[in-house]
A and B are shown apart, each in its own frame.
Chain A
Amino acid sequence: MIESFESISSVTDVAKIILESTSISSSTPESILKQFDTYGIEWHLTEKGDLFIKSWCIAAENFVPPEYVMELRNISESHSEANSLDWVSKHLSELTENYPGKWIAVKNGLVVADSDNVISLMKQLHDQSIESPFITKIPIQPVVWETTYVYKRV
């Protein structure tokens, strides 16, 4: 069992240790790949059966302060295929402007229905045969929530 990444210099080393363990245990390819997943190592199997792993290398230490990391990660996420919650999060100001006080249904990055209430919203979705939408209510005015987890960076 690998105890932590801290004593290991790179992802490649972790992968090497996992693969070497196959010689002393009866690990199956499935369990090895599962271990890679556990440690966040991205892998690819070629048609020939070769195993490739994606390896990160450090480009700059202390590139940004830790409290700034989350904000920058969100910028990065905007380039990936976002789910509906991410989409709503990123388009919040225009949704607040266009749908104040409405329930909205979002599917594939589009508002596919909106209504004052959930019953009418569901009817619209049924009529359009839209399945598995994400729904949420857009407030008329910003609402202040007090939660344990809210973190504020001013």
Chain B
Amino acid sequence: MFTKEFESAIRFKAISNLAGSIDAYPLVPVNLIQADGKKIGLSLLFDTGASITSLRYDLYPLLGLSSWDVGILSHTQTAGGVNPIEVYRYEGITLEVFGKSIICPVNLIKMPPHPLFSGLLGRETIFENFGFGFWERTRELFVTLNP
């Protein structure tokens, strides 16, 4: 019988907002591995709508850059946004996701700050390395390292 098994489940984070309702986010903790091998922990929002993983623009020092806007320029449309915004792409960034080190492209992008995530975990490279399943009713994200 053909089966798909997931080794771990990540619960969406439930956050009370000022309006008194509950927001739930599929957040994935990752480590950004710097050129000197040091790890910095970040939280990224799991985003199937994003092709490339994006980080807040002001995290550029973690990538060893002198400025956020020295990469390959492109423009992208954001969810709910009216005008395309600038993004700068950087190749060969190492992220540790679910204990697996992955070298992938990363965009730096100006996005509003959120205390619980500093960027968006995109499909390219990242999704190739894992299998994911959503259990929306229980707000859980299932992950397998062996897709």
Contacts and interface: CB of A to CB of B under 8 A. Distances in A.
A14 interface: no
A118 B113 contact: no
Nearest to B41: A134
A89 B27 CA distance: 11
A138 B115 contact: yes
Contact of A136 (B7, B21, B42): B42
B116 A122 contact: no
A135 B112 CA distance: 16
Nearest to A74: B14
Contacts of B138: 66, 69-70
A137 B40 contact: no
Interface stretch (A15-23, A24-32, A41-49, A139-147): A139-147
A152 B20 CA distance: 10
B5 interface: yes
A147 B13 CA distance: 14
B79 A84 contact: no
A145 B114 contact: yes
Contacts of B62: 118, 122
Contacts of B147: none
A150 B25 contact: yes
A71 B23 CA distance: 10
Interface residues of B, number: 51
Given A131-B38, A135-B40, A152 B23 contact: yes
Looking at B13, B41, B118, the one whose CB has the most chain A CB atoms below 10 A away is B41
Contacts of B19: 154
Nearest to A107: B41
B41 A122 contact: no
B84 interface: no
Contacts of B40: 132-135
A38 B5 contact: yes
Contacts of B39: 131-132
Interface of B: 1, 3, 5, 7, 11-15, 17-27, 29, 31, 38-43, 45-49, 56, 58-62, 79-80, 112-118, 137-139
10 contacts: A38-B5, A70-B24, A96-B115, A131-B39, A132-B41, A135-B118, A142-B18, A148-B47, A152-B23, A154-B21
